Structure 1
Amino acid sequence: MKLLLLHLSIFFSILFTSLPSSQSCTANDKNALLEIKKSLNNHPLLSSWNPQTDCCTGWSGVECTYGRVTYLTLSSKKFSGNIPPAVTKLRSLDTLFFKYSNFSGPIPDNISDLKNLTYLGLSENQLTGPIPGSLSQMPKLLAIHVNDNKLTGSIPNSFGSFVGNVPGLELSNNRLSGKIPESLSKHDFNVVFLSGNSFVGDGSMFFGRNKTTIQVDLSRNKFQFDLSKVKFARSILTLDLSQNQIFGKIPQQLTNLRLERFNVSYNRLCGKIPRGGFLQTSEPSAFSHNLCLCGIPLVKAC
């Protein structure tokens, strides 16, 4: 019996030592990372990406789960050129963080091949061209952060039919334009940042009494809609509609919200400012430069 147990012990010892470590980088992911390094001209910031070592151990900006690369960050103004095509080969990637770099050119349309991606962070680069409509085909995506680039065109119509989660949209400070597709009105976006573009038409589809919206910033565009007809979710904390062409009156409902940030300046609003809630303590600058708003905190009486 003891001999049998000894043989079994030796057998399982050999078996488990011959199996690859759960943290050992898979060959496909390692090769993809080395392709990325090559496309970035073997940048010195990637000197830790040594082909003789395990990519899941000690490679800067790389994190793994069970030997698959799930997190990749390339965040430095020293990184430039197009987004490396081999990025789309990292099929287990959960987080892509390329913020605060100098990447240029278009967002690859086949970035939608990353079906496990939950966070797409491409903010503060020099990216150009349209937002790929294929982003709507990423079933686990929770956040699209492409603000502070040079992207052009409009919001894709396909964003009205996400195959999975409805992601937060951070598209501010680009060169985007056109109308917001009406199909987006059926979605419940928790975060919408569109500031600093040239959008026109109706932006009120992002609001709704039964939605769970938390933050909306539509400032510095050319939106036109009647604010007095808008119903707001009770969950909303940030509301910035400044520097548009929004008209009507400020709804009394806003006094019932737990707003932390509010601005409707530089529009075409009229009527008496409702009293109560956050509006009562807002600075005059939050209401300034409208057609005919009146009442506290403005000096203009009604």
Structure 2
Amino acid sequence: MVTILFSLIILVYHITSSHSERCNPQEKFVLLQMKKEFNNPTFLSSWKPNTDCCHPKWHWHGIKCDHKSHHVKSINLSYNTKLASKIPPSIGNLPYLETLFLFHLPNLIGPIPQTISKLTNLTYLTISSTNVSGPLPNFLGQFKSLVNLDLSFNNFYGPLPPSLSHLPNLTGIFLGYNNLIGPIPDSYRSFKNHSNFYFSHNNLSGRVPISLGKVDFSSIDLSHNRFKGDPSMLFGSNKVSAAIDLSWNIFSFDIGKVELPKITSMFDASHNQIYGNLPLGIENVMILNVSYNRLCGEIPKGDKHDLYAYFHNKCLCGSPLPSCK
């Protein structure tokens, strides 16, 4: 009798627990398929078919679910050197996913799979510090809800996709430390004001589109590329740019005609072919480097920057450089 009663209790427990599981069964199946496509890495050992992917008790590594709908809304996998695979194509079958964060996974390889284009609710997409490669896909322009795109520190190559300009909510774009080539598309004039725009350490080239002057960037980094010409459209006394980095390019323009944004706290234009006198307000910039250019004239009196902010210019003078004669 006791044995029969015990068996009934176990049966009821299993029936109750199966009905009370929070994890959406289709999404759970997708996560387990992803684990398989990741080659069943040990750091995903918590992803077990007999546990609830949304229940805090089981804590599926890197998974967060919406507390009301229980749909999987976030995947955060980072800091693992043993995960060796491509990005699982099945990830595109998580329609409610809002955040995908793949960071410092040096053995993650291959291109971004086409199936990711189905994640139309993505708000934050980070694939950074991996060995993911290939051209930046045009389907990135389909993520209409995307606010932040970070594809830095990878092996992406080829041109910048014009389709990024189709993202109405994008305010952070980080594509630095790749092998990207070619010019900045003119269509990027449609980026939102107060955006953060980081394209450093690539092989980008050509002139900065004049139309980019219509965007009031919070910060912009074009350093360590092969841009040339005059980027002065990025400046203006009424703009809000707190950080501007143009260093290590082939820019050539009269910097004396530029009006710095009043709140600029960092300005680096070193290692270019910039000429002219220093612009008004340069002494108020907290972090400054205009070394290795062709600048002339007197450094404003009372300037507190060190020698390294100004050295290797054609004819700059005044403290901290030798005095003007």
Which TM-score band applies after superposition, normalised by the shorter structure? 0.7 to 0.9
Question: Separation in 2 of the partners of 1:54 and 1:84?
Answer: 27
Paired position in structure 2 for 1:116: 145
On the 8 A contact 2:101/2:126 being kept in 1, the answer is yes
Aligned partner of residue 129 in structure 2, secondary structure: coil
Deviation at 1:98, TM superposition (A): 1.2
Gaps of 5+ in 2: 1-16, 74-96
Deviation at 1:42, TM superposition (A): 5.4
Is 1:140 the equivalent of 2:166? no
Paired position in structure 2 for 1:286: 309
Question: Separation in 1 of the partners of 2:251 and 2:163?
Answer: 26
Aligned partner of residue 160 in structure 1, secondary structure: helix
Matched pairs, number:
278
Partner residue of 1:221 out of 249, 265, 268: 249
Question: Separation in 2 of the partners of 1:294 and 1:247?
Answer: 14
Question: Separation in 1 of the partners of 2:193 and 2:185?
Answer: 16
Is 1:270 the equivalent of 2:293? no
Question: Separation in 2 of the partners of 1:252 and 1:236?
Answer: 12
Question: Separation in 2 of the partners of 1:32 and 1:108?
Answer: 23
Is 1:298 the equivalent of 2:324? no
Aligned partner of residue 281 in structure 2, secondary structure: helix
Deviation at 1:88, TM superposition (A): 2.3
Gaps of 5+ in 1: 1-16
Any idea what the Cα deviations from partners look like across 1:9-44, whole Å, max 9, x if unmatched? xxxxxxxx9x998x74584x6677667666655555
Relative to 1, partners in 2 of residues 1:45 and 1:113: Cα closer, same or farther, differing over 3 Å?
farther
Any idea what the Cα deviations from partners look like across 1:43-67, whole Å, max 9, x if unmatched? 5555555566655564444444442
Aligned partner of residue 112 in structure 1, secondary structure: helix
Q: Normalising by the residue count of structure 2, what TM-score does the alignment of the two structures yield? A: 0.77
Counterparts of 1:97-246 in structure 2, within 5 Å, are 97-162=126-191, 164=192, 167-246=195-274
Question: Separation in 1 of the partners of 2:186 and 2:163?
Answer: 10
Is 1:261 the equivalent of 2:287? yes
Any idea what the Cα deviations from partners look like across 1:213-265, whole Å, max 9, x if unmatched? 1110000001111111001111111100000111100023223x3x2210000
Question: Separation in 2 of the partners of 1:36 and 1:129?
Answer: 28
Relative to 1, partners in 2 of residues 1:179 and 1:294: Cα closer, same or farther, differing over 3 Å?
same
On the 8 A contact 1:207/1:231 being kept in 2, the answer is yes
